[in-house]
């Protein structure tokens, strides 16, 4: 009953809110992260997942994969998020870029989130994925910062819509190591996809490369942000 009431309250607030499409640019994402109060994190664009490219950007907390979304069927099994995994369902169009960024930030204990995002993480810690998604969509801070980077031209919604063949509809998903496991986090799915053991330190980067390459082959050309 408590979750039903919270869902109802969030959904009512959501009706009065709106999220714009933002630029898909690592500089924009880095500035967005800074505006949220997070310290010491930058986003870099990667056109290759080789070890040399990874080493150039320094410690890698997570990877975000951008691809053209066509609504392809994906039968891979999802898992119930464990207590250490922050996973939120995407409840509103145009929020997937910011949500993918949050999926990395909230799942890396070594990142200094700042006062407001630390409080948000604590507030949503025990929420199920859909209520976490509603909390993101209704956060004044997240919506304000996200919309401050709105694209100048009008665009179609990024996902969950019937698009014409010529439309370019894009989506972002995240890859992060959490508690020794490697996860693919996509807010349009029912839950995280566990890709196996992450290994110690940055060994997870060796495991994530074939996973992203496989997704790229299945979905068409994409690019990674780290």
Tell me what percent of the chain is helix, strand and coil, each rounded to the nearest 5: 40, 15, 45
Residues with catalytic function? 96, 171
Beta-carbon contacts of residue 191 (< 8 Å; ≥ 6 apart): 78, 79, 80, 81, 87, 129
When mean pLDDT is compared over 4-8, 104-108, 218-222, the highest value belongs to 104-108
- CA neighbor of 97 nearest in space, from 69, 70, 122: 69
pLDDT tens string 184-216:
999 999 999 999 999 888 889 988 988 888 887
Burial class (CB in 10 A: 0-12, 13-18, 19+), 113: buried
Average pLDDT over residues 116-136: 95
Q: What is the pTM of this model?
A: 0.84
pLDDT tens string 139-156:
999 999 999 998 765 444
Edge-to-edge strands, sheet with 222-225 = 45-46, 222-225, 63-68, 170-178, 181-185, 193-197
């Amino acid at each position: 009953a408590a979750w039903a009431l919270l869902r109802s309250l969030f959904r009512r607030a959501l009706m009065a809110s709106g999220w714009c499409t933002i630029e898909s640019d690592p500089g924009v994402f880095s500035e967005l992260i800074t505006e949220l109060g997070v310290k010491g994190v930058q986003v870099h664009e990667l056109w290759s997942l080789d070890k040399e490219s990874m080493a150039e950007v320094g410690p890698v907390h997570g990877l975000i994969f951008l691809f053209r979304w066509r609504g392809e069927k994906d039968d891979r099994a999802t898992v119930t998020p464990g207590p250490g995994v922050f996973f939120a369902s995407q409840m509103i169009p145009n929020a997937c870029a910011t949500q993918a960024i949050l999926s990395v930030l909230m799942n890396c204990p070594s990142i200094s989130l700042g006062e407001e995002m630390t409080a948000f993480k604590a507030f949503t810690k025990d929420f199920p994925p859909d209520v976490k998604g509603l909390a993101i969509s209704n956060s004044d801070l997240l919506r304000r910062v996200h919309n401050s980077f709105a694209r100048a031209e009008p665009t179609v919604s990024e996902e969950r819509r019937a698009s014409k063949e010529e439309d370019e509809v894009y989506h972002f998903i995240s890859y992060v190591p959490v508690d020794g496991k490697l996860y693919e986090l996509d807010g349009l799915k029912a839950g995280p996809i566990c890709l196996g053991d992450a290994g110690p330190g940055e060994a997870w980067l060796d495991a994530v490369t074939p996973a992203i390459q496989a997704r790229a082959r299945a979905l068409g050309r994409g690019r990674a942000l780290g």
